[in-house]
Amino acid sequence: MDISTFAQNHAGQIAATIGLVTFALAKNKLTPGGIAVAILVAFVHMLDPWPVFFWLLVPFFLLGVLVTKVGHAEKARLTKSSDGSAGGEGPRGWMQVVANGGVASVLIALHTFLGASSPHMALRAGVYPGVYAPVLQRLLPIGIIAHYGAVAADTFGSELGILAKSTPVLVTAPWKKVPRGTNGGITVEGLSYGLFASFLITCIAYAGTYLMPPYRVMDIRIAILVCIMGAFGSILDSLLGATMQATVTDRGSGKVVEGPGGQRVKVLDGGSRVQLGRDIMTNNGVNLAMAALTSLFAMAAAWVLDLSF
C-alpha cells in the first residue's frame, strides 16, 4: 500500500491525530518527546485492520485530559513537585505515553502481523505450526481492550480519587491511613471512578466492534470480562505502587512529593524528604507493568473461559 492509498483509507484517523496533536501542543498537555511518541503510537493503531483500537485511543486521551483538569487547583495544593513548583499533573513526557500506550501498541502490532501474514491458507501451509497463532489472533483484541480499560481506570482513580472526601488507606494495609497521593493509597471513591472508567471504555469497544469493520459483535461475556479486568488493573496498579514504588513526602508539610513526568523523586540531604516503601520501580514502570499484566491476565482468563472474537 502506497502513502496516498494509506492516507485515503485512514483520512479520518489522520485528521483526528492532527487535531489531538494540535490540542496537546496548544494546551501544553504533552512534551515534544511525548508528542513524537504519541504520533508513533497513533500510527501503529492505524495499521491494524480493526479501526476500533484507534478509536479507543482517542477517548482515552480526551477523558484523561478531562479528569486531569478536574480540581486541578486543589490537587496542586494537596501534593508538591520535586522541582519546587506546586503539585498536580504537568505535561506528559514520552515515558508516560509509553507507559499508557506501549503495551497496547505491541499487542496491536502483533495482531496486525497475524492478520496480514497468517490467513487460513498460510496456516494450512504450515507457516505457523500448531494452533497458537489463530488462537492468539482471536484473544489479542480482548487484551487490547482490557489494556485501555485498565489504564483509563487507573487515570480516573488517581486523578479523581485524590479529591475524595474520605482519607486514603494503604491497599496492602487497609487499616493504615496515608497522605493523599501516596503510592498504593486507595479510597472507595477512587475505586468507583476506576470501575466507571473501565465501563466507559468497554461500552465504546462494544459499540465499535458492532459498528466498524470487521463487524465483530462483542459477546456480553467478553464485555463483562474486560470491564472487570479494567477495574482489576486499577487495583493491581495500587498493589504494585505499594510494594514496588517508593513514596517521598515532605517532612515539613507532610505532602507527597511528585516527580515530573512520573520519574523517581530524590531524597534530599538534610532530611527534608522522607522515603517510604521500596524504591524498585518508577511510576511509569508501575503503569507499564500493570498494563502488561492486565492484558495477559485478560487473555488468559478468556482462554480458560473459551471466550474470543
Q: Which helix (H) or strand (E) holds 275?
A: strand 273-276
pLDDT digits (tens, 9 = 90+) for 144-159: 999 999 999 999 999 9
The residues with which 273 forms a beta bridge, in sequence order, are 250
Q: How far apart, in whole angstroms, are the C-alpha atoms of residue 184 and residue 173?
A: 10
Q: What angle do CA 116, 119, 124 make, to 5 degrees?
A: 145
pTM: 0.92
Tell whether the model's pLDDT for residue 279 goes beyond 80. yes
Peptide bond before 213: cis, by omega within 30 degrees of 0? Answer: no
Specify the pLDDT at position 50: 94
The reported pLDDT for the residue numbered 272 is 74
What does pLDDT average to over the chain?
89
pLDDT given for residue 4 in this prediction: 84
How many whole angstroms separate alpha carbon 141 and alpha carbon 298? 10
Residue with cell 503539585: 87
- Domain ranges in the chain are 3-304
**Nearest-angstrom CA–CA distance, 96 and 92:** 6
Residues 114-143 pLDDT 10s:
886 554 434 434 444 444 678 899 999 999
